A and B are shown apart, each in its own frame.
Chain A
Amino acid sequence: MVEAMEFQELSNRHRVSGVPQTSINDGAGTVVGAVPESQLLAEIARVAGAAKA
């Protein structure tokens, strides 16, 4: 968890526009909003590769 107001520089770098926003591997992937588990997993898989989900 990163509190966006306290760490604005980091939030700006990650272009946080709404919360929650999840950044994967320092910006390689992004998920905006509280999404279902499968959607977050799909983005992790896109960024991290490895076996199919």
Chain B
Amino acid sequence: MSEKLLNEQIIGQIQEVFANLKDPVQVLFFGNEKDCEYCDDTRQLVEEVTAISDKLHLDIYDIERDAEMAKKYRVDKTPGIVIAGRKDEQIHDYGIRYAGIPSGHEFSSLIHDLVTVSNGDSGLSQETRNYLKTLDKPVLLQVFVTPT
């Protein structure tokens, strides 16, 4: 077994945050056996994180072998992560995607997004919510980040 990415101290901190989880969350990981430098580490990271709470469910896919799932969830980059809600055994897709490894600063984004999806509350202001409801077409937001 390979070495853990998360140490006891970090796991303890995440456990405290995850104590507030409400509804189950479904995480979908998409890897690629070819030409994917960060797939193994990302997969291990989401495996370790989702193991911390019973409310977090993880399914592992390969972008080529599971091309239909990748298409269904519009994942075209690896490592790719989908963070979705899970209610009554159904997956509720809120459109949240990660392309690349969520390390460094982005590790806290990952933890934060898991909590946000579980609690079903974006934290956005009422004004923002009112506006977003008026959108008649999907809007793509791509937030470019670096791990440091």
Contacts and interface: CB of A to CB of B under 8 A. Distances in A.
B100 A48 contact: no
B143 A53 contact: no
B77 interface: yes
Nearest to B99: A2
Contact of B131 (A7, A22, A47, A53): A53
Chain B binding surface SS class? loop
Contacts of A14: 142, 144
B135 A3 contact: no
A41 B131 contact: yes
B124 A4 contact: no
B73 to A, nearest CB: 15
Nearest to A42: B131
7 closest A-B pairs by beta carbon, nearest first, are A3-B100, A51-B134, A6-B100, A23-B142, A4-B144, A53-B131, A16-B144
Interface of A: 1-7, 10-11, 14, 16, 19-26, 37-38, 41, 44-45, 47-48, 50-53
